[in-house]
């Protein structure tokens, strides 16, 4: 899809429709919604053009400076919040002094993204998202994340990974150009891919071990790293529509499996001392993130359970049971456990007198002309159609409000009755919000309270907003790293999500 990424309402800014290859890529990607804990140059937000063997002076800082604006733009800009900034700044000086290279300078940015993520670029550019800060429960957990990213910088991992990636690319090109035996070439390519995947994993494990040592030297709880890894894994499971059913083996991931990382983190902490050592400082940390924005930025609309609602545009829709929504700057995405992927965005249709002409204007490869039908959804003019290309089946709908066409694109390799049913149910739910509905839409924020006698996770979870009622207890327990079935001691600081 060609969606301009400038200004407010980026996914809905009017642009000319094009880019079927990107639509295929969107479907083939399967909408991986499980968030990773760390990304690096080479398999992260951007990749630099580093030639192996050309490590000139200041190369790392030049790469970081060049890529920094792109990272900030990709992740929704810089998040400004004095409490969150203080929470991050309070640990940096101690960690730098305790790191393997105290002379290294760092530039740390909090990104305005609900994703739970942190990553490093060469030259000391470190990034944490506000989503990660919201999941953390004490200062030591934030320090663990930053220490891990500092380890990537001091170990020069980004440059090494880029060099290895380019060497792999060159080797693969030689194989495909020279080797005549296609089966032998295929085996060699697989071997090369596995080697690079493991190379990346080894870097992550190395950064984990270095990070825990730095954490302890700075006086923080060394077990914070393993504790936060558990929280991230639990949150990823909570968000995943296809819980635990991924067929991809762990060694093909760019990151080691969570159990492997947990083992490294716990073993590294045990070498330092028994649990209970080091600073955690839960109360102070939570007081600093009290009031912080949680979830979607209002400029991008809100996900509320299975519904997407946009206050400024005055639109909303709901996906069927079993789908998980993800709101990104480029589009609203969704997927279920049965292989169906959804994309929702906006495009300029002002140049078309009717939506049938727009649907037939060439932006869809494999369009079945006989499938194109005019329709009306909740008083709005629309058009629907179907396409088949490269083993994928698509159902497409475009609904018009003024100059904007709101596009729903469903994709599946194995379409069935449920595929068609889900498509119809979703587009039938699209509507313009009433003034009252728009007025009631407010941003979600973190609210920190101290528990009182008799408070239980179940009782406190009832007050959570933006979560389906049936999942509030699970969400509260993960967000606060508390057991859902154990009483909470009075005076414990806990996070609620409220509007």
Strand order of the sheet with strand 493-498? 293-294, 444-450, 493-498
Distance CA 26, CA 10 (A): 18
Residue 172: band (very low, low, confident or very high) from pLDDT cuts 50, 70, 90: very low
Using the structure block, give the residue that is written with the tokens 């990213």: 149
Write down the pLDDT at residue 261. Answer: 82
Write down the pLDDT at residue 236. Answer: 86
State yes or no: pLDDT of 157 exceeds 60: no
Write down the pLDDT at residue 119. Answer: 85
Distance CA 125, CA 91 (A): 16
User: Which one-letter DSSP state was computed for residue 99?
Assistant: S
Instruction: Pull the structure tokens for residue 183.
Output: 């089966």
Fold classification of 298-439 (topology level): Protein Transport Mog1p; Chain A (3.40.1000)
Q: Which of 101-110, 118-127, 252-261, 320-329 has the lowest mean pLDDT?
A: 252-261
Residue 244: band (very low, low, confident or very high) from pLDDT cuts 50, 70, 90: very low
Quickly count: other Cβ atoms within 10 Å of residue 51's Cβ. 11
Write down the pLDDT at residue 208. Answer: 85
State yes or no: pLDDT of 358 exceeds 60: yes
Write down the pLDDT at residue 183. Answer: 52
Write down the pLDDT at residue 272. Answer: 92
**406 beta partners:** 346, 399
Q: What is the mean pLDDT of residues 68-91?
A: 92
Distance CA 241, CA 224 (A): 28
* Residue among 444, 423, 441, 425 nearest 433 (CA): 441
The dihedral built from the CA positions of residue 34, 35, 41 and 46, taken in this order, carries a sign that is positive
Q: Which of 258-262, 270-274, 428-432 has the lowest mean pLDDT?
A: 258-262
Rounded mean pLDDT of the chain?
Answer: 79
Q: Over the stretch 185-206, which tens digit does the pLDDT of each residue have?
A: 444 444 444 343 343 677 788 8
Q: Which of 24-33, 331-340, 445-454, 469-478 has the lowest mean pLDDT?
A: 24-33
Q: What is the mean pLDDT of residues 65-92?
A: 91
Write down the pLDDT at residue 254. Answer: 43
- Better pLDDT: 99 or 37: 99
Q: What is the mean pLDDT of residues 67-89?
A: 92
Write down the pLDDT at residue 346. Answer: 93
SS3 call for 343: strand
Q: What is the mean pLDDT of residues 29-36?
A: 27
Residue 147: band (very low, low, confident or very high) from pLDDT cuts 50, 70, 90: very high
State yes or no: pLDDT of 247 exceeds 80: no
Distance CA 399, CA 83 (A): 42
Write down the pLDDT at residue 31. Answer: 28
Fold classification of 442-498 (topology level): Membrane-bound Lytic Murein Transglycosylase D; Chain A (3.10.350)
Q: What is the mean pLDDT of residues 332-345?
A: 91
State yes or no: pLDDT of 313 exceeds 90: yes
Domain residue ranges of the chain, discontinuous segments joined by +: 34-293, 298-439, 442-498
pTM listed for this prediction: 0.72
Write down the pLDDT at residue 12. Answer: 61
Q: What is the mean pLDDT of residues 248-256?
A: 40
Write down the pLDDT at residue 412. Answer: 92
């Amino acid at each position: 899809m060609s969606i301009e990424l400038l200004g407010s309402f980026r996914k809905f800014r009017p642009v000319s429709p094009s880019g079927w290859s990107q639509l295929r890529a969107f479907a083939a990607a399967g909408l991986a919604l499980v968030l990773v804990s760390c990304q690096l140059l080479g398999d992260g937000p951007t990749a630099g053009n580093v030639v192996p063997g050309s490590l000139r002076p200041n190369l790392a800082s030049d790469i970081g400076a060049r890529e920094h604006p792109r990272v900030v733009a990709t992740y929704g800009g810089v998040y400004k919040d004095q409490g969150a900034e203080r929470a991050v700044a309070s640990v940096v000086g101690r960690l730098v002094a305790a790191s393997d290279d105290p002379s290294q300078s760092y530039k740390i940015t909090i990104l305005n993204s609900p994703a739970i993520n942190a990553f490093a670029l060469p030259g000391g550019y470190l990034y944490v998202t506000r989503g990660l800060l919201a999941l953390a429960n004490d200062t030591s957990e934030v320090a663990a994340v930053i220490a891990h990213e500092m380890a990537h910088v001091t170990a020069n991992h980004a440059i090494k990974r880029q060099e290895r990636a380019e060497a792999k690319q060159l080797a693969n090109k030689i194989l495909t150009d020279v080797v005549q035996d296609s089966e032998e070439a295929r085996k060699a390519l697989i071997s090369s891919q596995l080697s690079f995947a493991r190379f990346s994993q080894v870097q992550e494990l190395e950064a984990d071990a270095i990070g825990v040592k730095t954490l302890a030297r700075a006086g923080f709880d060394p077990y914070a790293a393993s504790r936060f890894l558990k929280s991230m894994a639990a949150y990823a499971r909570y968000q995943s529509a296809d819980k635990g059913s991924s067929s991809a083996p762990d060694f093909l991931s760019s990151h080691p499996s969570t159990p492997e990382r947990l083992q490294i983190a716990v073993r590294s902490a045990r070498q330092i001392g028994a649990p209970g050592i080091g600073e955690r400082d839960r109360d102070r940390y939570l007081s600093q993130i009290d009031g912080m924005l949680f979830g979607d930025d209002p400029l991008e609309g809100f996900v509320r359970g299975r519904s997407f609602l946009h206050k400024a545009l005055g639109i909303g829709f709901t996906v069927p049971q079993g789908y998980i929504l993800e709101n990104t700057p480029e589009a609203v995405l969704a997927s279920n456990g049965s292989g169906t992927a959804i994309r929702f965005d906006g495009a300029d249709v002002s140049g078309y007198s009717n939506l049938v002409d727009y649907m037939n204007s060439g932006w869809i490869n494999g369009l079945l002309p006989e499938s194109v039908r005019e329709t009306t959804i909740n008083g709005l003019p629309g058009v629907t159609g179907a396409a088949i290309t490269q083993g994928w089946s698509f159902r497409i709908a475009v609904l018009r409000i003024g100059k904007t066409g709101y596009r729903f694109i469903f994709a599946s390799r194995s379409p069935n009755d449920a595929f068609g049913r889900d498509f119809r149910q979703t587009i039938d739910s699209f509507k313009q919000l009433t003034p009252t509905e728009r007025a009631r839409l407010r941003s979600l924020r973190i609210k920190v309270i101290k528990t009182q006698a008799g408070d239980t996770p179940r009782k406190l979870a009832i007050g959570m907003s933006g979560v389906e009622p049936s999942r509030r207890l699970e969400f509260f327990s993960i967000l606060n790293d508390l057991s859902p079935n154990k009483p909470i001691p009075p005076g414990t600081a806990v996070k609620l999500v409220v509007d």
